[in-house]
Amino acid sequence: MISPIAVAKAYAAVQNQAAAAAPQVAVEEKGGFGDLLKSAMTDAMKSSKTAETQIAKQVQGKAELIDVVTAISAAEASLETVMAVRDQVIAAYQEIMRMPI
């Protein structure tokens, strides 16, 4: 089960990454919320692939255990962030649907 503290830490990590990449994104294109979501999903997939690669290297005896643990932690944080954003989007949608017209 995901604790609120873990979600907050994952959110803070993504915000720090987004803050570092924000000027670069603003210069390249004037994207919106969709581009931010696409970027977050791409980063989550990359961190998952990195974790899988590190696990395979560890099985082969070519990687240190700390590298594997770090990669898995990064992948877990990315996944938790994506899930937290998804939950918030669903909650916002449900709230909008409950509004009287």
pLDDT of residue 8: 67
Domain positions in the chain: 4-98
Mean pLDDT of the chain: 82
- Residue positions counted in the chain: 101
Cβ(88)–Cβ(80) under 8 Å?
no
pLDDT of residue 25: 46
Given this model, what pLDDT does residue 26 score? 47
pLDDT digits (tens, 9 = 90+) for 75-100: 999 999 889 989 999 999 999 999 98
Pair 47, 71: CB distance under 8 Å? yes
Model confidence over 16-60: pLDDT tens digits?
Answer: 766 665 555 444 556 788 888 888 889 999 999 999 999 999 999
- Res 37: pLDDT: 82
pTM for the predicted model, two decimal places: 0.61
